[in-house]
């Protein structure tokens, strides 16, 4: 019988045994290294591959910004302040002259926006496709980073922003309709919630950024906390599109991924603090679920016969 493995299976079987305590069993968005008595160093790596994470015909400046921002989002998910990053870029020789100057311009602009600096990396040629790997470093006060495994029974599940825009932007990337322009911008340029993540350090007890779809990433929080999370589909913040039916929009939010909004749990006593933070930052923070004692599944839909399905998997 042939055994089918996805990326999480490969990580569990082959890469988790290679780690030490700083990697936290590879169950969080980043590793933590206590490099002095006051601060923890937070470290994360992400790769973007042409044909998988971007088409290749986008403005190289936007590709650069997306590459940096998905890493910044991992810092946000841990409540960390980003400080610097390493970059490895592999690119075909015939693309380098046109691509690299614009790519570097995009990095420079976002470095100024997010107050981070490049400290090193590697540049090599490749045969056919562009591959970009960034390792980002951030810091938190000692022991103050937010993990994925801190949710408790009765905690609320909140999400920032609007979900589903990036998937809709991807699906309608070639469309010229004005209605899809915002969604296309969100696909090209995610908005990492760095300031929100830092502000949630003393409010949230578990947190993750939505890179693989709401269902999959909410399941990560529940599984790591050994609980069941109940999602209220009627509460999920969705965009409005006249040309798209509600089911398609909902599925884009549930399974689409690449939204890079923050998904976090908190005690009900902290709900007023979440509301205050939402007002202060002028950012929508919506309660979409609750954590319960583990049942048969890590995630279920409230008052709905639909069964959750899998989001995108690389393998």
Question: Average pLDDT of 184-209?
Answer: 96
61, 55, 129, 52: which is closest to 89 by C-alpha? 129
| Number of residues in the chain | 315
* Residues 208 and 132 both lie in one domain: no
* Residues 230 and 114 both lie in one domain: no
Find the helix or strand (DSSP H, E) in which 192 lies: none
In a domain, 233, yes or no: yes
In a domain, 312, yes or no: no
* pTM, rounded to two decimals: 0.88
- CATH number, residue 63: 3.30.1330.10
Burial bucket for residue 306 (CB in 10 Å: 0-12, 13-18, 19+):
exposed
* Residues 244 and 162 both lie in one domain: yes
Question: Average pLDDT of 226-242?
Answer: 96
In a domain, 109, yes or no: yes
Count of domains observed in the chain: 2
What was the pLDDT predicted at 26?
A: 64
* Residues 174 and 120 both lie in one domain: no
Q: Last residue of a domain, which of 85, 113, 141?
A: 141
Q: Tokens 């909004």 — which residue?
A: 261
* Residues 297 and 161 both lie in one domain: yes
* Residues 171 and 296 both lie in one domain: yes
Backbone angles phi, psi at 14, to 5 degrees: -110, -30
Q: What is the DSSP letter of 249?
A: H
pLDDT tens, residue by residue, 134-178: 999 999 999 899 999 999 999 999 999 999 999 999 999 999 999
In a domain, 313, yes or no: no
* Residues 251 and 279 both lie in one domain: yes
What was the pLDDT predicted at 22?
A: 64
Question: Average pLDDT of 249-267?
Answer: 96
Whether residue 313 has pLDDT greater than 70 = no
- CATH number, residue 269: 3.90.650.10
In a domain, 149, yes or no: no
* Residues 80 and 202 both lie in one domain: no
Measured distance between the N- and C-terminal CA atoms of the chain, rounded to whole angstroms: 18
What was the pLDDT predicted at 157?
A: 98
In a domain, 60, yes or no: yes
* Residues 128 and 199 both lie in one domain: no
Whether residue 203 has pLDDT greater than 70 = yes
Q: Tokens 């046109």 — which residue?
A: 98
Q: What range defines the domain where residue 91 resides?
A: 7-141
* Residues 134 and 164 both lie in one domain: no
DSSP H helices, 175-213, are 181-188, 194-199
* Residues 120 and 160 both lie in one domain: no
- Compute the half-sphere exposure of residue 15: CA atoms within 13 Å on the CB side of its CA: 10
* Residues 227 and 284 both lie in one domain: yes
In a domain, 23, yes or no: yes
Q: Last residue of a domain, which of 141, 166, 187?
A: 141
What was the pLDDT predicted at 14?
A: 66
Whether residue 15 has pLDDT greater than 70 = no
In a domain, 146, yes or no: no
What integer best gives the mean pLDDT of the chain?
90
Q: Last residue of a domain, which of 94, 116, 141?
A: 141
């Amino acid at each position: 019988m042939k055994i089918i493995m996805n990326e999480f299976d490969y990580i569990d079987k082959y890469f988790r045994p290679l780690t030490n305590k700083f990697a936290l069993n590879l169950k969080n968005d980043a590793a933590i290294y206590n490099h002095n008595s006051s601060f923890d160093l937070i470290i994360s790596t992400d790769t973007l591959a042409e044909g998988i994470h971007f088409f290749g015909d986008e403005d190289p400046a936007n590709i650069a910004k997306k590459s940096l921002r998905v890493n910044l989002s991992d810092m946000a998910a841990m409540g960390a302040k980003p400080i610097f990053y390493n970059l490895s870029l592999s690119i075909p020789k015939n693309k380098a002259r046109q691509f690299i100057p614009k790519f570097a311009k995009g990095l420079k602009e976002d470095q100024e926006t997010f107050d981070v600096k490049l400290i090193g990396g590697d540049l090599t040629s490749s045969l056919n496709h562009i591959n970009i790997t960034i390792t980002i470093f951030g810091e938190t006060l000692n022991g103050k980073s937010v993990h994925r495994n801190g949710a408790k029974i009765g905690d609320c599940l909140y999400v920032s922003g609007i979900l589903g825009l990036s998937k809709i932007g991807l699906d309608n990337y070639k469309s010229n309709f004005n209605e899809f322009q915002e969604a296309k911008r969100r696909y090209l340029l995610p908005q990492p919630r760095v300031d929100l993540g830092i502000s949630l350090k003393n409010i949230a007890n578990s947190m993750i950024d939505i890179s693989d779809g709401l269902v999959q990433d909410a399941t990560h929080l529940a599984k790591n906390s050994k609980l069941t999370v109940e999602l209220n589909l009627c509460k999920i913040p969705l965009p409005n599109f006249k040309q798209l039916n509600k089911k398609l929009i909902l599925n884009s939010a549930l399974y689409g991924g690449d939204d890079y909004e923050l998904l976090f749990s908190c005690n009900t006593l902290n709900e007023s603090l979440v509301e205050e933070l939402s007002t202060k930052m002028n950012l929508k923070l919506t309660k979409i679920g609750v954590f319960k004692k583990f049942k048969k599944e890590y995630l279920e839909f409230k008052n709905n016969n639909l069964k959750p399905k899998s989001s995108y998997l690389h393998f």
